[in-house]
């Protein structure tokens, strides 16, 4: 299935654009304009002649230009008529934002919609969905305005999400956390294009480095298994499954009109296909951050470097609890560092640079550990509250990260000053975490995927 038009269209038409700025169609229209979409926009509303200076067409058939993608934002009862019009005009790719189908028990209307889709051999995302976002060309069909939902910066994470509510809030949070996204897709009822089709497309998408999936029910289990087995060999797929409890399963049925199925069956399927199962949305994007920004580790031996003894202990517990191994620095590494460090520095694992640690101590210890064959992953605890660390520690860590010798992960906990430096590191592709436990769980996901 060729899904390229859903992300790379040049001519996009929106059916259902009102002059009322609070209506869904108008919001999508404004988002494309305000987001500086690089293509052409056409609006359809039979009741007005123009909207915001754009000609308003009475129906899709009146548009003479070749349309690549149609976004349908009309009431559910009108959607079937619009789909038939698109079919007759030989427009193949549609996003149906409209809700009011099987998710509210209106199976008859959904069946009518499905017949029209099959008749004209259309490709459809939705209905009952939030739409898609491509951060590269600013194709943004989401019906939530920019002032309420900030869009994330361009990056390597693509998120396929069955729930519009989950997707929208995660996008907003990702924007604040400085996580970079390639694409976002909310696919709703999956009347045609489903999660497997979308992930198969993203597997070949150059801009996508890591795929995240929130799913409540799988449409076609055999197809899903086949696609996932192929995709996880090429790039990581991290999944959060809604409806894992009996009560959640019932809620899924009322949400999308689909039965979620047995938790045990899903977990087995995720494991067999090489997917990374995350128990929470927080874990999902912690894992995505590290899988997007880190290189492949050679093994699972973790070296902790810290300027706070308590944090070193917490990190050690987390490493052991996640079935990772504590590295043993070589005698040569210890001997070389001992020449430059005062006696109070502990040259083991954790390597405690102490509260009077300087940027130079970090530089020397990181360099030594990168060259130590006994060490596979560096976990740096950098507490910026201590007085002798200068802000150029960010440049030091970034420089070593750019050597691509070993994964380097940073833990920094604190307020505004810490947050500024963390964001600077993350903007340079260094995975950063606030809490040691989250960092180590994410390292575990990195190691498990590659090893």
Q: Output phi, psi for 370, to 5 deg.
A: -65, -30
Q: What are 56's strand-pairing partners? A: 43
Residue 360, pLDDT above cutoff 90: yes
User: Based on the structure, what is the number of domains in the chain?
Assistant: 3
Torsion angle, alpha carbons of 49, 50, 51, 57, to 10:
70
Q: Which is higher by pLDDT, 253 or 389? A: 389
Determine the pLDDT at residue 77: 93
Residue 260, pLDDT above cutoff 70: no
Residue/partner pairs of 429-436 with CB below 8 Å, 24 or more apart: 429/293, 429/398, 429/401, 430/293, 430/397, 430/398, 430/401, 431/289, 431/290, 431/292, 431/293, 431/294, 432/289, 433/286, 433/409, 435/411, 436/311, 436/314, 436/315, 436/318, 436/379, 436/381, 436/411
3-state SS class at 37: coil
pTM of the model: 0.91
Are residues 327 and 446 both part of a single domain?
yes
Are residues 253 and 347 both part of a single domain?
no
Are residues 68 and 87 both part of a single domain?
yes
Buried b (16+ CB within 10 A) or exposed e, 195-209: bbbbbbbbbebebbb
| Domain-ending residue, one of 293, 320, 341 | 293
Are residues 62 and 206 both part of a single domain?
no
Are residues 112 and 171 both part of a single domain?
no
Residue 322, pLDDT above cutoff 70: yes
Residue at 143 is within a domain? no
Whole-number Å distance between alpha carbons of 48 and 426: 47
Are residues 78 and 158 both part of a single domain?
no
Are residues 345 and 361 both part of a single domain?
yes
Whole-number Å distance between alpha carbons of 168 and 27: 15
Q: Would you say 256 and 233 are in contact if contact means Cβ atoms under 8 Å apart?
A: no
Average pLDDT over residues 420-436: 93
| Domain-ending residue, one of 276, 293, 310 | 293
Tokens for 210? Answer: 């890591």
Whole-number Å distance between alpha carbons of 32 and 41: 8
pLDDT tens, position by position, 71-117: 999 999 999 999 999 999 999 999 999 999 998 899 999 999 999 99
3-state SS class at 180: strand
Q: Output phi, psi for 150, to 5 deg.
A: -70, 140
Tokens for 248? Answer: 């959640």
Question: In which band, very low, low, confident or very high, does the pLDDT at 247 lie, cut at 50, 70 and 90?
Answer: low
Across the chain, mean pLDDT equals 93
Domain range for 10 is: 1-129
Buried b (16+ CB within 10 A) or exposed e, 238-271: bbbbbbbeeeebeebeebbbbebbeeeebeebbe
Q: Output phi, psi for 110, to 5 deg.
A: -65, -35
Determine the pLDDT at residue 26: 97
Residue at 362 is within a domain? yes
User: Is the bond preceding residue 350 a cis peptide, omega within 30 degrees?
Assistant: yes
Average pLDDT over residues 12-20: 96
Average pLDDT over residues 64-73: 97
In the block, which residue shows the tokens 């920094």? Answer: 412
Determine the pLDDT at residue 255: 47
Tokens for 371? Answer: 């060259």
Residue at 410 is within a domain? yes
Tokens for 87? Answer: 């079919």
Residue at 419 is within a domain? yes
Residue 337, pLDDT above cutoff 90: yes
| Domain-ending residue, one of 253, 270, 293 | 293
3-state SS class at 211: strand
Determine the pLDDT at residue 364: 98
Q: Which is higher by pLDDT, 262 or 167? A: 167
Are residues 289 and 300 both part of a single domain?
no
Q: What is the DSSP string of 252-279?
A: HHHHHS-----HHHHHHHHHHTT-EE-S
User: Is the bond preceding residue 19 a cis peptide, omega within 30 degrees?
Assistant: no
Average pLDDT over residues 345-360: 96
Instruction: Determine what percent of the chain is predicted with pLDDT higher than 70.
Output: 96
Residue at 141 is within a domain? no
Residue at 139 is within a domain? no
CATH of the domain at 23: 3.40.50.720
SS3 for 68-97, per residue? CEEEECCCHHHHHHHHHHHHHCCCCEEEEC
Residue at 138 is within a domain? no
Q: Which is higher by pLDDT, 248 or 435? A: 435
Are residues 421 and 439 both part of a single domain?
yes
Residue 261, pLDDT above cutoff 70: no
Average pLDDT over residues 1-28: 95
Q: Would you say 346 and 352 are in contact if contact means Cβ atoms under 8 Å apart?
A: yes
Q: Would you say 280 and 287 are in contact if contact means Cβ atoms under 8 Å apart?
A: no
Are residues 275 and 372 both part of a single domain?
no
Indicate the length of the chain as a whole number. Answer: 451
Determine the pLDDT at residue 177: 84
CATH of the domain at 380: 3.40.50.261
Are residues 125 and 164 both part of a single domain?
no
3-state SS class at 123: strand
Determine the pLDDT at residue 245: 66
Are residues 120 and 188 both part of a single domain?
no
Determine the pLDDT at residue 259: 46
First to last CA, the chain: 32
């Amino acid at each position: 299935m060729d899904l390229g038009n859903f992300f790379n269209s040049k001519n996009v038409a929106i059916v259902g654009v009102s002059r009322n700025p609070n209506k869904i169609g108008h919001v999508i229209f404004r988002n494309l304009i305000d987001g500086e979409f690089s293509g052409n926009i056409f609006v359809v509303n039979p009741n007005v002649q123009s909207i915001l200076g754009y000609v308003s067409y009475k129906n899709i058939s009146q548009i003479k230009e070749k349309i690549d993608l149609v976004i349908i934002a009309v009431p559910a009862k009108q959607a079937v008529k619009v789909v038939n019009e698109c079919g007759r005009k030989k427009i193949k790719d549609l996003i149906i934002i409209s809700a009011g189908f099987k998710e509210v028990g209106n199976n008859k209307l959904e069946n009518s919609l499905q017949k029209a889709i099959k008749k004209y051999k259309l490709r459809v995302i939705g209905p009952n969905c939030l739409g898609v976002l491509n951060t590269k060309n600013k194709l943004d069909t989401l019906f939530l305005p920019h002032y309420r939902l900030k869009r994330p910066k361009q990056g390597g994470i693509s998120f396929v999400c069955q729930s519009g509510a989950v997707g929208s809030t995660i996008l907003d949070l990702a924007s604040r956390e400085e996580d970079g996204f390639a694409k976002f897709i909310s696919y709703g009822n999956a009347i045609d294009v489903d999660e497997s089709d979308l992930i198969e497309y993203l597997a070949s998408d150059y801009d996508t480095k890591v795929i995240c999936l929130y799913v409540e029910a799988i449409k076609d289990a055999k197809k899903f298994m086949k696609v996932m087995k192929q995709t996880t060999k090429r790039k990581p797929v991290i999944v959060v499954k809604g409806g894992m409890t009996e009560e959640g399963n019932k809620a899924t049925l009322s949400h999308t009109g689909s039965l979620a199925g047995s938790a045990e069956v899903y977990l087995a399927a995720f494991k067999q296909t090489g997917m990374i199962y995350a128990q929470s949305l927080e874990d999902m994007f912690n894992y995505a951050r590290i899988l997007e920004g880190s290189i492949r580790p050679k093994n699972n031996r973790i070296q902790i470097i810290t300027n706070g003894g308590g944090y070193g202990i917490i990190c050690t517990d987390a490493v052991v609890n996640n079935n990772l191994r504590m590295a043993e620095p070589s005698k040569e590494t210890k001997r070389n560092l001992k020449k430059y460090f005062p006696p109070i520095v502990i040259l083991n694992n954790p390597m405690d640079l102490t509260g009077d640690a300087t940027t130079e101590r970090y530089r020397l210890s990181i360099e030594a550990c990168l060259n130590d064959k006994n060490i596979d992953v560096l976990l740096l605890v950098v507490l910026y509250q201590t007085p002798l660390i200068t802000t150029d520690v960010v440049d030091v860590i970034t420089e070593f990260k750019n050597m691509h010798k070993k994964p380097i992960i940073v833990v920094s906990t604190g307020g505004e000053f810490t947050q500024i430096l963390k964001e600077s590191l993350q903007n340079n592709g260094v995975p950063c975490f606030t809490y040691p436990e989250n960092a180590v769980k994410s390292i575990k996901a990195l190691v498990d995927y590659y090893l």
